[in-house]
Amino acid sequence: WENTWGSDCVLRLYSDKSCDNQIGIADDDWNDHTLGKSKPKSAVDGRLISIKDNICTRDMPTTCASGILDKFKSPFNATVVDELENAGAIVAGKTNLDEFGMGSNSINSHFGAVQNPRRDGSGEDLSAGGSSGGSAASVAADQCYASLGTDTGGSVRLPAAYTGTVGFKPSYGMISRWGVVAYANSLDTVGILSKTTASVRDIFDLLNKHDQRDPTNLSIQSRSRINAYHQTPRFASRLTSAPLRIGVPIEYNVSELTPSVRRAWILSLAHLQKQGHTIHPVSLPATRHALSAYYILAPGEASSNLAKYDGVRYGTRAAGPDGDGKPDGYLYANTRGEGFGAEVKRRIVLGTFSLSADEIDNYFIKAQRVRRLVQHDFDSVFAAKHPLHVTASQHAQNDSVTHPDVDVLLCPTAPSSPPRLSDLTDPKKKSSLDAYVTDVFTVPASLAGLPAVSVPVTVAGQGDEAELAGIQVVGQYGDDELVMNVGEMLE
């Protein structure tokens, strides 16, 4: 295979597939191509789909954009890759990311930074968001029809917002994670990026099924409970024509919001109101602690997950059989020291500290309590309860509406528009903490395992020159369909 990341750092192209095939198959061509021959197997039959490089593929390397897996090739496909291929999709290539998914700008990569296909007014290169920046850029640049990314704390939604694409993170446990390299297991989800909500929905429908190989994947029984809950008349009507109650979390209206983001938020609310839906301010008080909790929990889980990269079982190993002829103990240290990038090392140190015997009560356990508060906040504003927390008797009495609260929440995906790549690499202008802060609006839904979609909303202009901002729709657990419906209303 041929590595083309050096030039645009987006998509790995493979020599057995011609380059023409990688670049934008238009809808008409696709219809001729597929319909001309036979009935398409699925909505993605014959479509090119790129795959984030932390999702295992048998035919191509899976590097997680890390030096430590530089030459690693998985012996199997992730379930999601098998599902797409069985449905007739063509894996276009693997996309660049922040190493192991750790970052918000896709600059923490062993292979170099991802460039956003959109530039700012003065032609400067912009961040494509992270960590699924390569996936988002490959969609935005029409290199493929859709892309699979992963979203642990916002990694599909933020790149979608920065590149002007649609990015969907499903409820935790809906899509199989088997064969997806773990970053923080309790938060990791596979997400979908494409140009329209309709195509995201088509792909979600293919992937939303039980996989017994992933123990955190929803069981068939849990899936039926969720469906039964949504089929009660009160909730079924939300998917048809009933006016929706849209919640506006007041805590998200921070002074740091850039004017274009605030304008996109206001325009979206006005648009939904015009369609007959009603707008309601709601309060999510634990939100302001969500980011700190996330940056304790995610590195804690990551430090444990990354312990397996020791130069013995996977990927690259420091030179010499025993690490440059030094005693055995150095093999681990040398391999990890050379193989991991700076941000990953920072997370390992942070996570190991917060899980250590002396500190765990003060950090990890406290952060888990905050996570509970964040989940509780969401439960108290949604009209629907968490369908897996509703008792059978409540369900039978249809006593599942707590009070007249909201159906979905609407807020910005990120506080500001994409930063310039040159600013991100200048330590005087941006620190790693600045990257953490961009996740402030995406992390709460991740902590609560809720479905969320980011859709591009036009603030000014039109076409390729339009000024866009990502607007996020968040729903109750299991309300994936509803969230996508509202996203579609904003397109």
Binding site for ligand GLN (CB under 6 A): 101-104, 131, 150-155, 183, 298, 439
Which of these is catalytic: 50, 52, 104, 132? 52
What's the closest the beta carbon of residue 131 comes to ligand GLN, in angstroms?
Answer: 4
- How are strands ordered across the β-sheet holding 452-460? 90-95, 48-52, 146-151, 189-194, 166-169, 452-460, 467-475, 408-412, 245-249, 278-282
What six digits make up the tokens of 242? 């009933």
- Cβ contacts of 104 within 8 Å, gap of 6 or more: 98, 129, 130, 131, 154, 155, 158, 435, 436, 438, 439
Q: Which residue is nearest to ligand GLN (CB)?
A: 155
130: helix, strand or coil? coil
Which residue, 159 or 315, is less far from ligand GLN as judged by CB? 159
What six digits make up the tokens of 383? 């009209």
Identify whether 260 is a catalytic site residue: no
Which of these is catalytic: 155, 176, 303, 454? 155
Which residue, 149 or 311, is less far from ligand GLN as judged by CB? 149
What's the closest the beta carbon of residue 369 comes to ligand GLN, in angstroms?
Answer: 20
Which residue, 441 or 477, is less far from ligand GLN as judged by CB? 441
Which residue, 175 or 459, is less far from ligand GLN as judged by CB? 175
Which residue, 131 or 485, is less far from ligand GLN as judged by CB? 131
Q: How far apart are CA 301 and CA 214, in angstroms?
A: 17
Q: How far apart are CA 452 and CA 371, in angstroms?
A: 17
What's the closest the beta carbon of residue 31 comes to ligand GLN, in angstroms?
Answer: 35
What's the closest the beta carbon of residue 154 comes to ligand GLN, in angstroms?
Answer: 5
Which residue, 109 or 131, is less far from ligand GLN as judged by CB? 131
Which letter does DSSP use for residue 232 in this model?
Answer: S
Cβ atoms 353, 346 nearer than 8 A = no
What's the closest the beta carbon of residue 379 comes to ligand GLN, in angstroms?
Answer: 23
What's the closest the beta carbon of residue 436 comes to ligand GLN, in angstroms?
Answer: 7
Strand (E) positions, 189-282? 189-194, 245-249, 278-282
Identify whether 155 is a catalytic site residue: yes
Each as own residue / partner, the long-range contacts of residues 14-17 (CB below 8 Å, 24 or more positions apart, any chain) are 14/59, 14/60, 14/93, 17/90, 17/92
Phi, psi (rounded to 5 degrees) for 411 = -155, 170
What six digits make up the tokens of 141? 């640049």
What's the closest the beta carbon of residue 342 comes to ligand GLN, in angstroms?
Answer: 13
- Cβ contacts of 3 within 8 Å, gap of 6 or more: 12, 111
The widest CA-to-CA distance across the chain, in whole angstroms, is 72
Identify whether 38 is a catalytic site residue: no
Which residue, 172 or 235, is less far from ligand GLN as judged by CB? 172
In terms of Cβ atoms closer than 10 Å to its own Cβ (0-12, 13-18, 19+), residue 18 is: exposed
What six digits make up the tokens of 218? 């929803």
Which of these is catalytic: 66, 106, 109, 131? 131
Active site residues: 52, 131, 155
